[in-house]
Each structure stands twice: as C-alpha cells, then as structure tokens.
Amino acid sequence: MLIAEIFDRCRALVDDTDLSTVAAWKAAHPGAKAIGCFPVYVPTELVHAAGMLPVGLVGGGGHIEMDHADSLVQSFVCSISRSTLELGMTGRFRNLDGLLFPSICDVARNLSGMCSRNFPALWVDYIHLPQNRASAGVVDYYRSELARVQVGLDVLAGRTTTFDALAASIQAFNQQRAVLRDLHAFRRSFPWLLSTEELHLLTNAGSVLDVAEHTNLLQETLNLLSMRKGKPKDRIRVLLEGAFCEQPPLELMKAIEEAGCWIVEDDLLLGRRWLATDVTLNGDPLRALAESYVRQDTVSSVRHERPRRRADSLVERAREARVDGVLLCSAKFCEPALFDQVLLRNALEQAGIPHLALEFEEKMGVFETPRTQVETFVESILFA
C-alpha cells in the first residue's frame, strides 16, 4: 500500500461513527462481542482476552448532530460526554455489546450511570483505577478489580478467560504499544515526515481495529515512512499537553502545525500509550497488568501525583523533546485539565519555557482564532 492510501483508510475508519468496521469484524467472528472503552485508559487486554473487540470511544469528532444529548447534559460539561450519549441515543452503539468506563473524572463517572440506564441492552461497567500508588495494598486491590471486570466480561462472553489467553493479549498490546512508541520517536526526530494529524489518524484507526491488524498497519507505515522524502521547514518545536481525553479536531492540529509549529510530543489519545514500557509477564498476568499500571510513570491530569511531580514531569518532557514552547491545549470544560493548567503554567514560567493556552471543542468550526494565536506565539519565540 502507498502511504497516502494508508492515511485515507485511517481517515475512513475514524470518520465511521456508525462503527460499521465493528459490524464487519463481528460478522467475521460469529458470536463474538464488542465493548466500547471510554478514555483515558482502560485495560483493553481484558476485553481482548475474552475474545471480544475493544472499541475505543473517542466522542463524535464534530461529525454528529446533537439532537438528544443536549437535553441531558448541561452546557458546562465537556463535549465528549455529550457526544458519547448522542452516539448511543441515535443507535450508533448497536454494534456494541457493552461499555467500559474508567474512573477519570466526575463527569465520566456519572456518564457511565447515564449510559447504563439509557442503553439497557448494553453491559456497562466502571473500573476504579487506583489513585494511591504508594500504598502497600494497591496492587492487590487493583488486581482484584481487574479480576472483577474480567468475570463480568466472561459472563457476557459465556466463557472463561485463561491465564494463557490473557498473557497472549498482553503480548499483542505490548507489540502495538512498541510500534506506537517507534512512531512517536520517529515524529520527534522527523516531524516534517510525519505530521501530528497523520500520527493521530494512525493511532485513532486502532479504535475500531483488532490489535494485531492495527499493529501490522502501524508497522507497515513505519517502514514506508523511512522512505518518505521531505525537507524540514523553519518551524518551532512544541509539546502539546492537556488533550488526553476528549480529542481536538484534526483541523486544529493541522492549523497549529501550519501556523509554524511541529508538535513533537503530546498527550493525545494518551491511553493507547499509557503503559510506556512492556508489561512484563511473570506467571500471573492479572498481577502483571496491575503492577504495570501502578508502577509506570505516565503522568496525567486524571491520576494523582505527589506534589511537584506533575509540574516537574512536564518540564522534563519539554526539555527531553527539545521543544521551544508548550501548548496547554485542553477541552473546554474539562476540569482535570483546567485545574492542572494553573500548576503547569507556573512551572513553565519558572523554567522559562514559553507557553500558550488553547481551548477546543469537538464542534468548533472555525480555526482562525487559534491559528492567529499560535502564529503570534511562534513569532514571539522566533523573534525573541
């Protein structure tokens, strides 16, 4: 396949809010089920090991009309909660059998309850991801939480997940995450050969694909990328932070880059890379998954960090990626991100790293304002 064809395919997969890809997968796997997984991070290995397709929920991407959800969700709540409900209320979850929500924020918590009442045909569960990683009891707790969810999935699937099956799923996702890491490393070195819009499309395509197929697609792209030709443009390098849950429109990513930036580091679709190193298998795969979540150092607004760690980590990442500036780019009304912005802005100030705050919504239509803001930001850096 040509690389352009790959991106076209990804775009088609991403735009398909009816989840017809999922329907096709189910047709090819008679009797198998599909589970929608809300961001930021869900241990999709559990779903996969139960013989099901984990489907990444990413909101409506600005493609759908809000006819029903607006009456159920107040105006001060983020778009993804609204569009997720709308997708379900307009029958677009008909190819799903269940929904899994992680404990990321107050909105997601109640959204899970709203979904279970409004979509009685779906199995809905809520996974309480641990926040106190320093506790001696945390791995035991989280292992038991994973086991609880696994039982629920097994009942739905009508089978019992073996340790071997789970270990195999963990390996499959390890491979996927490894290629994603390679792609990110590639973009960091050669941002002119892989735009953030493209990287996002590639990653997001995995929302509806089986993990093995997605991994192959990523690998193939990576191979093709090394042959891609292009010249670096005179742009500044930036890190984009704060879009870990609801995703900004692709047009915004494009507008940012066209305004004179290379986004070389970001937290877009963070959940897909949450486990930043391989999950090490050591006999009990549930424990391995639990330990990995607890010990891995991924910092995000939806998980507690000891004082200063959040701020320090952003500054460290900015320095490692050798960026000229940071874009604090969060979804409108996303409280976890908005709270952290204060802290992060102060940290960047202290570290002398230029920064700009941007807000987005799924349904934003014009990108002139952010483009101008970014242009001004770029100029202020280039001519400082």
Partner 1 sequence: MALYQDLGRNLQKDLLAKWYGDLALANERKEPVAYLFVSGNVEELLQAYGFHLVYPEINALQCGIKKAAGGFIQKAEEAGYSSDVCGYVKNDVGIALAGGKWPLGNLPKPDLLVCTYAGCTTYMKWFEALAQHFECPLFVLDVPFVRDEDVPAADIAYVVTQLRELSVLCQAVTGRTLSEERLRELVRLSAEAEDLWVRVLEMAKRRPSPLDGFFEAVFFMAPINVLRGTPECVAYYEGVLREMEERVSLGIGPIPEEKFRVVLEGPPPWPHFRAFWDLFKRWGVTCVASTYPRVGGIWDWGMRHDPERPWESIATHAMNGYTNWNLARRQAMMRRFVAEYHADALVLHSVKSCRAFSMGMADTRELFLREDRLPALFIESDLADPRYFSEAQLRTRVDAFFEALEHRRSARV
Q: What is the DSSP string of 233-252?
A: -S-EEEEEES-SSSPPPHHH
Give the other-Cβ count within 10 Å of 65's Cβ: 9
* 65 DSSP β-pair partners: none
By CB under 8 A, residue 89 contacts partner 1: no
Interface with partner 1: number of residues (CB under 8 A): 58
Q: Of 214, 235, 310, 355, which lies in the binding site for partner 1, with binding defined by CB under 8 A?
A: 310
Per CB under 8 A, the segment of 110-118, 190-198, 204-212, 372-380 that binds partner 1 is 110-118
Binders of partner 1 among 6-65, rule CB under 8 A? none
The closest alpha carbon to 211, from 156, 286, 272, belongs to: 272
Question: For residue 46, how far is the Cα from the chain centroid?
Answer: 17
User: Using CB under 6 A as the criterion, which residues of the chain lie in contact with ligand SF4 when the complex forms?
Assistant: 78, 80-81, 104-105, 107-108, 245-246, 302, 331, 334-336
By CB under 8 A, residue 213 contacts partner 1: no
By CB under 8 A, residue 104 contacts partner 1: yes
Contacts of 166 (CB under 8 A, 6+ apart): 45, 46, 49, 150, 285, 286, 289
By CB under 8 A, residue 307 contacts partner 1: yes
Kindly state the smallest distance separating residue 80's Cβ from ligand SF4, in Å: 5
Write 306-314 long-range contacts (CB < 8 A, 24+). 306/134, 310/340, 310/343, 310/344, 311/343, 311/344, 311/346, 311/347, 312/347, 314/239, 314/241, 314/344, 314/347, 314/348
Q: Of 3, 23, 32, 72, which lies in the binding site for partner 1, with binding defined by CB under 8 A?
A: 72
Residue 241 contacts residue 327 (beta carbons within 8 Å)? yes
Kindly state the smallest distance separating residue 291's Cβ from partner 1, in Å: 15
* 126 DSSP β-pair partners: 101
74 binds, among partner 1, ligand SF4, none (CB under 5 to 8 A by kind): partner 1
Kindly state the smallest distance separating residue 262's Cβ from ligand SF4, in Å: 25
Instruction: Summarize as ranges the residues that interact with partner 1 (CB under 8 A).
Output: 71-74, 76-77, 81, 103-107, 109-114, 116-118, 125-126, 128, 130-132, 134-138, 140-141, 144-145, 148, 301-302, 304-308, 310-311, 332-333, 335-336, 338-343, 345-346
